[in-house]
Structure 1
């Protein structure tokens, strides 16, 4: 335990120490500006889910973390529960335009670096940040709805050891250990190691998730001006995806909670190694330089069986009985990749200066970024037996027979080189201005070997202003352009596809109450994305062509509040009104964007009963959502209630707690998400489930 913490324990009642340790206040975040600008002076909506909330809610997946944030919803995620596909302000966090296998597409940021298809080890997470709206001027390659940044636990000079064990229903178990501290007397060398293993089955037939993870970091901090940290992270994720249920008519089929149709004899897997090198050096009183190198390699095997109502006539005559109504369902090894490899190489340098010029305060950011992503490995398409959804015979599906189908081999890569500059100007009287500009040069391919790369370049602006009209209140306005993806070329004509672009106008109000312990952000926005992918069916079923001619709009209101209301009561809550419309599309014009409820809300509160006992509960609600891009079916709205109780106690020289969580307390059956291009992958929410967690911290 740090010496400062020991001193606080001696001077203050233990209940105060416990209260501070599990405060719901959002920690400082530099993600929205890449500078140390306070949230109150940032002209953009930001929500942070701190570690205290993650612990109290026993959040074991990223989806469970971001459900606390206004405007975040969910698409159908492949690759098990550890790799979700999120929707922010109406748009998925991954481009759904680019062709390619649907698996391995989950995208988020890890300590500010974009990764895709990588499982998330929540045991190593310090907080989860959600930056609303476009962020590509500073980060590039990001979808316009916003970005989710996972902040991992830091290396500390103070010694700490932690152990956590969670057990629950349906085979749930998570074991996690961590240790950090100085490695020499001068505390210039510091280290951190952590390891965890998650295992979970499901009420859903055949579904499994397994995730093992190890992280090791070594930091060199010779003085207050310099730090260098090297980190090695390895994860082994094995899973069988819950492929959901079909829609019958305009509603999800009325099936038992357990039923799903992916009985692949394989567990899919992703073995991922990430190496990062971070360096920071204060050049002088004015200038600070930061740099990062990241190298990621993932060996994958994606082997799920996909149920689908369309019959491509590739099986035996007895199996070609799928009428297209949703029952029976044909099933396929659809674009499976038995042996794949995914690579990311990224380098980034930021130079930040703070100075006075012309009587005005300036915070200047100059940055350089290069990013390379490659995916390799042949994919296969093979039809297997169909299933009657009301009386399926499953559990004996044969393995993939590569002799019965031709492999599909494509070039699949993306290259980006970018420079950006930003100036935050303090004008006086509580007014500040932000201007930023980014220039990208990029080339990308998704096509048959030898396809010519699609080379594009573009310049995007960002403008914002903040007026802090009271000591703890501000209003802001922001305009930003965005670039999300370079999709290569039209697979039929070879023509260059336009990059996906967007623009947003946002205004908002921020306030900090109770000496900053309670924060609120209210935002209004209009976001329009152009060059969206539009599917064009081709004669060679089951294939389709994608062209970038679509346009869609989302606009709405979002409110996020979090912090401590009283000494005993902390809360985190949100509300979002999201109105979406497809403005231009050859097939779906005038429809609403799928998986986006017009109204969503959440409220979680935790009450400290005394020095030892804590209790909490919350409700998470979504209205009715369209299930697919055609709006051919709807998922009904729902409200799910969770609850927890925790007992904190001393254990030898350690602080310990025993915590019981019950998710979906009233056993409400609900539908969490679907996939925008299919009527057969509707994912059910979790049933009532109890989890018991023991934590010990030295």
Structure 2
């Protein structure tokens, strides 16, 4: 058990020491070279049929070529689907086939598009007309598959539609905090990353980091790669960002795709995946209040043909706080492996383990409608308060198979197990005013809680693109299932004040040092005998469909629905067995079944200005 510590007054200036080692993948061309130097390089393309400007944008992202053309040249032009291994020149010829456009090499890695037969309009005598030019490409050195790449703006969000629809074309409010931002800010928890998102604020969670208010609604649970994690009954958890690629916020209702979500929004974290590009990184951070953090990341292929990839990331963090008695000691380890038996199929297995010792913090009491005017470091626990403990593990899989350019099937699975033990010197009553009439004495008592959660969730999605009656359709049909069991155990007294434990909020240190015998005797009782144990169960099925219709490249119409079948229950008893029996031989007051249909409709029209802004956003995002 880690020794308890008081806040240390010695502060250290924040400093960060970074060591990065990287190796380029074999045969990977340098994007800093001219396009001609890459003419023989072979790429694997998987570009769906879509407007030509969008296809050119994807080609630019993968090859590093910058395309220069007038927007009038590609207006209303469609590009065919492109799949297979070929050079960039071969891919461009296929995309431009039948379009009436030709290409020629420009300076550096640029390619100029022009009509095969140019008929310039006659200009007035003595005047010169310069055509408008659009540049679509990306800065040299940017590669979506390279872990060294730094992308500050994400064009897609997996959580928003469960498809590859760009955020710009989605009739919803979506914000994504990418890895580059989290690294620059040196975030360590998703709570830190979400400080960048409007309409989201952290909620006190007694030392945990996954309680939030989104657009005024409480959000306890966090989704991981599109699947709900263990926070299924209001028990907060923790995520370290060492293994996170991004944090996504889908604002507003999302029940059509996910079933159980709050009206304010949904929080989804995406984890890092193995990469074909070898990359190794080790980082050491130092900071105030005895802050030490070590973070590492390693990825690359395990065999010559790059069909087997690995990634191993993690962190260790140890720190005190500006608050007395508060500290965190956390280690996170996340190995993953990807198998690609063919160009059309991939399977990823990922594991995430986290162990954290910490001390819960109840904050500062209020006097009237304002925080008490006391030193911000004053804490109202105790030096003999046992250390709180959290341990959890996530085991996930992801399977993708592309039947062709347009149709694919996706399956995800997540197993979550979590144990959380907390002992509090608790303000009492916990759900009332624990501050006495003198506005300086805080009533307290001793209380403990433990919850063990085991949850399984999976989904199966079929996505497809097709044209019908001149309309482009991006369709989704899916099914998901969630099952969780939570055993909750409580001891002590959270309701009645023990006068011997009263503390002066202006001088709390004088009351530190509660005898161990007081902890033992209080925790041997419970304020509500016969209700010490609670068993929560959840079983949830959902089937859903969605269609994204695009007209004239500007009008986007979303329609879909979901039908849910849910069963939840809570059994209570003096023992774990009696709580389980209360559920097994249940009555309507213990278990509840519900089913409901959740529709969703959205319309988005992109004005001419919006189209220009989109082109600008695509260009700036790659710089």
Q: 1:2 aligns with which of 10, 24, 30?
A: 24
State the 1:310 CA deviation: 6.6
Residues 75-224 of structure 1: pairs in structure 2 closer than 5 A: 75-78=203-206, 80-81=207-208, 83-94=209-220, 107-115=221-229, 116=231, 117-224=236-343
Partner residue of 1:403?
A: 524
Query: Bigger CA drift: 296-305 or 19-28?
Result: 19-28
**Does the C-alpha gap of structure 1 residues 326 and 459 become closer, same or farther in structure 2, counting only changes over 3 Å?**
farther
> What's the CA shift string for 1:616-642, capped at 9, x where partnerless?
xxxxxxxxxxxxxxxxxxxxxxxxxxx
In structure 1, the partner of 2:69 is none
The CA deviation at 1:10 is 6.0
Aligned with 1:305: secondary structure?
strand
CA gap of 1:324–1:275, structure 2 versus 1, over 3 A, is farther
SS at match of 1:7: coil
Of 316, 324, 330, 2:443 maps to 330
Q: 1:311 to 1:114 in 2, by over 3 A?
A: closer
Cα deviation code 1:362-390 (max 9, x no counterpart): 11111111111221042123355121111
Which residue is 1:69 aligned to?
197
Q: CA deviation digits over 1:492-547, x for unaligned, max 9? A: xxxxxxxxxxxxxxxxxxx43635255xxxxxxxxxxxxxxxxxxxxxxxxxxxxx
CA contact under 8 A between 1:434 and 1:465: conserved in structure 2?
yes
What is the Cα deviation at residue 181 of structure 1?
A: 0.8
Partner of 1:356: 467
Distance 1:18 1:203, change over 3 A: farther
- Stretches of structure 2 that go unaligned for 5 or more consecutive residues are 1-22, 35-107, 110-138, 573-578
- Alpha carbons 2:365, 2:435 under 8 Å: kept: no
**What TM-score, normalized by structure 2, do the two folds share?**
0.69
The separation in 2 between residues aligned to 1:109 and 1:300, in whole angstroms, is 19
Question: Structure 1 residues 30, 377: CA separation in 2 closer, same or farther (over 3 Å shift)?
Answer: closer
Partner of 2:562: 438
CA distance in 2, matches of 1:16, 1:282: 30
| 1:388 lines up with 2:504 in the alignment | yes
2:399 matches 1:279: yes
Higher helix share: 2
Give the alignment partner of residue 36 of structure 1, picking from 142, 164, 187.
Answer: 164
User: 2:537 matched to which residue of 1?
Assistant: 413
Match of 2:606, SS state, is strand
CA distance in 1, matches of 2:415, 2:470: 43
Say which of 458, 466, 483 aligns to 2:596. 458
TM-score by length of 1: 0.62
Write the deviation string for residues 548-601 of structure 1: whole angstroms up to 9, x where unpaired. xxxxxxxxxxxxxxx69xx7xxxxxxxxxxxxxxxxxxxxxxxxxxxxxxxxxx
Residues 367 and 326 of structure 1: CA distance in aligned 2, closer, same or farther (over 3 Å): farther
List per-residue Cα deviations over 1:188-222 (Å, max 9, x = no partner).
Answer: 11111122111111010110112111111111112
Q: 1:252-263 residue pairs with structure 2 within 5 A?
A: 252-263=371-382
**Structure holding more strand per residue:** 1
- Long gaps (5+) in structure 1: 95-106, 313-319, 475-510, 519-562, 568-698
Cα separation, 2, equivalents of 1:131 and 1:223: 33
**2:454/2:484 contact within 8 Å kept:** yes
Distance, in Å, in 1 between the alignment partners of 2:543 and 2:430 is 46
Conserved 8 A contact 2:31-2:140: no
Cα-Cα RMSD: 2.7
Q: After TM superposition, give the deviation of residue 473 of structure 1 in Å.
A: 3.6
Higher Cα Rg, which structure: 2
Q: Which has the higher contact order (CA 8 A, sep 6+)?
A: 1
- 1:379 and 1:141 map into 2 onto residues whose CA distance is 27
The 8 Å contact of residues 75 and 87 in structure 1, kept in 2 or not, is answered as yes
State the Cα distance separating 1:21 from its structure 2 match. Answer: 4.0
Deviation digits for residues 152-207 of structure 1 (CA, Å, limit 9, x no counterpart): 11111111111111110112111011211111111111111122111111010110
Shift in Å, 1:471 = 7.2
Deviation at 1:244, TM superposition (A): 0.4
- The answer as to 2:434 corresponding to 1:298 is no
Aligned length: 461
